[in-house]
Amino acid sequence: MSHDSTIAPTEVPLRRVGSFKPDLLQTENHGLCPGCGHPIGVRIILEVLQEMNLANRSICILGHGCYGTFQSKLDIESILSLHGRSPAVATGMKRMRPDCAIFTLQGDGDMVSEGLAEVMHTAARGESVTCFLLNNGVFGDTGGQMTATTVVGQRTKNTLEGRNPTYHGHPIPIAEIVARMPGVAYVARGSVHAAPDTVRTRRYVRKAFEHQMQGNGFTLVEMLTMCPTGWFVPTPQGPNYLNETLQKVYPLGELRDIRAEKNGTPLHR
């Protein structure tokens, strides 16, 4: 068995053996800020859809946020909804097309600030849809203002001194709240700030779709994503900032899995 040394420069030129672009993504070009974590989250979802052979029977309902620009780049059916109303639209879609993988793509401003009631009621009804939350703690699309998930002390465009819990209130941990509802089949929180966490988040996405297609109930996967522009940090510092601020308030892991509950197996923390 031969191998290349990692100490000295390789004698054989390196070559790319696979495509970096998922087949369901029509172009890698996007207008999002450098260091943004949203494209990684979108890529994960598309890869899982293709892996599960769901591409031809999947519908994405996008909320209002920076990620909305991906609508023209996704090679799957998609529709834009009113601000915060994606879960309600997904409910109607799923009831008309129960054979399809129906999912929402929302930011924390869209889901937890503007559409908190929608996601709560959809979960309470146990609708077999999947909601993906791209959580960076800011309204990135409108300039970087505070959202309902902005952590205490975090600076935003309208909380320059940091979020003050006495004045602004505490952040809303939507995943923990939803996970306690009877109609919910699966809830997990992942991150895209490092390669191992991205791989683990990919597993969460697959489990969510599996539960949906089995008709087990509502599923939610939260992904912590980077937003260096909205955080006032240099681009390379985005992953570390996420790890040191958001992740301390929003711990990673599975919060609910009815299959694990039935089998008596522990959740992945």
**pLDDT value at residue 1:** 43
Contact criterion met (CB below 8 Å) for 215 and 128: yes
Q: Which fold has domain 38-262?
A: Rossmann fold (3.40.50)
In what order do the strands lie in the sheet containing 218-224?
77-80, 58-62, 101-107, 130-135, 218-224, 184-191, 253-257
Helix, strand, coil abundance in the chain, percent, nearest 5: 40, 20, 40
**pLDDT value at residue 239:** 94
> For residue 204, what are the CA distances in angstroms to 18, 257, 261?
24, 10, 16
**Over the chain (269 residues), what is each successive 10-residue block's mean pLDDT?**
56 66 82 90 95 95 88 90 95 96 96 96 97 94 89 90 93 97 97 94 98 98 95 93 94 95 82
Closest to 205 in 3D by CA, of 27, 60, 21, 66 = 60
Contact criterion met (CB below 8 Å) for 250 and 266: no
> At CA 128, angle to CA 122 and CA 133, rounded to 5?
60
Contact criterion met (CB below 8 Å) for 86 and 63: yes
Domain locations in the chain as residue ranges: 38-262
**pLDDT value at residue 27:** 79
Helices 86-96 and 116-124 cross at an angle (nearest 10°) of 30
**What end-to-end distance do the CA atoms of the chain give, in Å?**
37
Residues β-bridged to residue 79: 61
Alpha helices in the chain (DSSP H): 38-51, 86-96, 108, 116-124, 165-168, 174-179, 195-213, 228-231, 238-244, 246-249, 258-263
